[in-house]
């Protein structure tokens, strides 16, 4: 028997596949994850109903999903914008952390009424995130230093700074925990309902702004062109430094705002490891939503659901946290593989019997 696998690039993606691929791949991932669940003796039906259906339909679950969406969508856009310009910002994590740190510092040390203090915290957080993001962009545009490496490594720098600051200069006076003092009430983001805070509006506004930037502005035209062919863009008079800096600084600023919204809107104080890697989750979010800012929003909602539903499974069904992460990772992995099938066609042909074994090997 001879199995032949043939891989050909698709010239165009059929419409049913473009929309169907994510659905099929998520279902496939859930099917594989079901095996994992069966091993630990949990009914996959219960688990999935808990993870998705009950998370969406209960008020707490839905609210928690929206809360988690805020930092995810902001960090997602921080990866999305550079991606449109053909760059990979792997450092949204660091930009988010540094934004949270700078914003918290303002919240703790500046006394202003809430309507002025919270916007100021957002601005400073944005500036800090934007500054951290500007470094890889500038190095890339000016010296052709790979932005993937620099932005990633700067994330670790930011994480270590956070770790130092909450143990040193900014440690709260109460207790020995590596965390800052509680933010004063004026520095907290107002709540809308069920702990969902105004940060959600900020995130939606940013999505709208990025959408308009990409679809209706000259800068968006330049970013799109630079992302598709930078040599042709430069030939037409566009500036690599300008576009690269712009997408990274804007992206970094969004991630920074995502960081402060998580602190001032949800947690109330800055701790080491205050967030479960939103900035890294932003990468698959941006890859899935790379066609538009609205798609980034949808991808963020889906990932927020995975996070929230995963926590619910852990709490209510006693599924070990590690397994929940395995399930989440499988879904992400399958989704990204699904992108591959959109672009390539795989033909598997099986021939039986017709192939004779190497005749030369038979004699002698």
Partner 1 sequence: MAEPVFLEMAGIRKEFPGVVANDRVDLRVERGEIHGLLGENGAGKSTLMKILYGLYTPDEGEIYLDGDRLDLDSPQDAIDAGIGMVHQHFQLIPRLTVAENVVLGEREPATPFRPDAESPIPEAVRSNRVVQSVAERFSLGLDAPTRRIQRLADRYGFDLDAGAKISELDVGQRQRVEILKALYRDVDLLILDEPTAVLTPTEAERLFDSLDRLTDEGLSIIFITHKLDEVESIVDRVTILREGKNAGTAVVSEVTQADLAEMMVGREVLFQIEKEGVDLGEPVLQLQNVHADDDRGIEALSGVDLTVRAGEVVGIAGVSGNGQNELAEVAAGIRQPTTGSVRVDGTDLTGAAPRQFVDSGVSFVPEDRLEYGCAADLSVMHNATLKEFRDQRFDGPLGLDYDELEAYAETLVEEFDVRGVEDVTETKAGDLSGGNLQKLILARELDRNPALLVANQPTRGVDVGAIEFIREALLDQRMNGTGIVLFSEDLDEITDLSDRILVIYEGEFVYETTPEEADRDRIGLEMTGGGRAGGDQRPSDRHADVTAAASEGER
x/- binding map, residues 13-42, to partner 1, per CB under 8 A? ------------------------------
Which of positions 185-244 make contact with partner 1 (CB under 8 A)?
A: 212, 215-221, 224-225, 228-229, 231-239
Which of positions 235-294 make contact with partner 1 (CB under 8 A)?
A: 235-239
Phi, psi of 298 (to 5 degrees): -65, -45
Name the residue nearer to partner 1 (CB basis): 195 or 216: 216
Binding-site size for partner 1 (CB under 8 A) equals: 25
Burial zone of 206 (CB within 10 Å; 0-12 exposed, 13-18 middle, 19+ buried):
buried
Name the residue nearer to partner 1 (CB basis): 153 or 219: 219
Name the residue nearer to partner 1 (CB basis): 6 or 41: 6
Figure out which of the listed residues 9, 39, 322, 360 binds partner 1, where binding follows CB under 8 A: 360
**Least distance from C-beta 132 to partner 1, angstroms?**
27
How far apart CA 322 and CA 319 sit, in angstroms, is 8
How far apart CA 193 and CA 184 sit, in angstroms, is 20
Which of positions 94-153 make contact with partner 1 (CB under 8 A)?
A: none
Q: What radius of gyration, in Å, describes the C-alpha atoms of the chain?
A: 24
**Least distance from C-beta 291 to partner 1, angstroms?**
13
* Residues forming a β-bridge with 179: 271
User: Can residue 352 be called a binding residue for partner 1 (CB under 8 A)?
Assistant: no
Name the residue nearer to partner 1 (CB basis): 12 or 356: 12
> Judging by DSSP bridges, how do beta strands 196-197 and 2-9 pair with one another?
unpaired
How many C-beta atoms lie closer than 10 Å to residue 142's C-beta? 12
Identify which of 325, 306, 300 has the alpha carbon closest to the alpha carbon of residue 50. Answer: 306
Identify which of 122, 142, 120 has the alpha carbon closest to the alpha carbon of residue 265. Answer: 122
DSSP labels for 133-180? HHHHHHHHHHH---HHHHHHHHHHHHHHHHHHHHHTTT--SSSSSSB-
Positive or negative torsion for Cα 289, 304, 65, 177: negative
Name the residue nearer to partner 1 (CB basis): 102 or 246: 246
Phi, psi of 184 (to 5 degrees): -65, 160
User: Can residue 11 be called a binding residue for partner 1 (CB under 8 A)?
Assistant: yes
**Least distance from C-beta 204 to partner 1, angstroms?**
18
- Expressed in angstroms, the distance from the first to the final Cα of the chain is 25
Name the residue nearer to partner 1 (CB basis): 41 or 358: 358
User: Can residue 2 be called a binding residue for partner 1 (CB under 8 A)?
Assistant: no
Name the residue nearer to partner 1 (CB basis): 131 or 221: 221
**Least distance from C-beta 210 to partner 1, angstroms?**
13
Name the residue nearer to partner 1 (CB basis): 12 or 109: 12
- Binding site residues, partner 1, CB under 8 A: 11-12, 212, 215-221, 224-225, 228-229, 231-239, 360, 364
């Amino acid at each position: 028997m001879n199995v032949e696998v043939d891989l050909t690039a698709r010239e165009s993606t059929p419409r049913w596949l473009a929309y169907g691929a994510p659905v099929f791949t998520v279902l496939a991932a859930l099917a594989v994850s079901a095996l994992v669940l069966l091993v630990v003796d949990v009914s996959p039906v219960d688990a999935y109903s808990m993870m998705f259906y009950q998370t969406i339909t209960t008020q707490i679950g839905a609210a928690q999903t929206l809360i988690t969406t805020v930092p995810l969508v902001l960090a997602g856009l921080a990866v999305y914008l550079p991606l449109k310009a053909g760059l990979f910002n792997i450092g949204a994590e660091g930009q988010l952390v540094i934004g949270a740190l700078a914003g918290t510092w303002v919240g703790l040390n500046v006394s202003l009424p809430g309507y002025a203090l919270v916007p100021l915290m957002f601005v400073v957080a944005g500036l800090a995130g934007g500054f951290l993001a500007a470094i890889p962009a500038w190095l890339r545009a000016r010296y052709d230093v790979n932005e993937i490496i620099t932005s990633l490594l700067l994330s670790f720098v930011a994480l270590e700074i956070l770790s130092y600051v909450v143990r040193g200069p900014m440690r709260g006076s109460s207790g020995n925990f590596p965390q800052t003092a509680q933010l004063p009430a004026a520095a907290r983001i107002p709540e809308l309902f069920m702990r969902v805070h105004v940060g959600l509006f900020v995130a939606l506004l940013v999505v709208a702004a990025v959408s308009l930037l990409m679809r209706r502005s000259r800068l968006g035209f330049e970013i799109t062109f630079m992302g598709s062919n930078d040599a042709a863009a430069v030939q037409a008079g566009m500036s690599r430094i300008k576009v690269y800096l712009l997408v990274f600084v804007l992206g970094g600023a969004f991630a920074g705002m995502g960081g402060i919204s998580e602190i001032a809107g949800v947690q109330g104080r800055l701790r080491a490891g205050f967030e479960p890697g939103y900035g890294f989750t932003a990468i698959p979010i941006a890859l899935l939503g790379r066609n538009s800012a609205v798609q980034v929003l949808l991808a963020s909602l889906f990932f927020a659901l995975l996070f929230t539903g995963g926590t619910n499974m852990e709490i209510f069904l006693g599924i070990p946290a590690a397994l929940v992460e395995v399930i989440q990772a499988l879904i992400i992995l399958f989704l990204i593989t699904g992108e591959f099938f959109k672009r390539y066609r795989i033909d598997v042909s099986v021939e039986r019997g017709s192939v004779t074994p190497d005749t030369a090997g038979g004699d002698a």
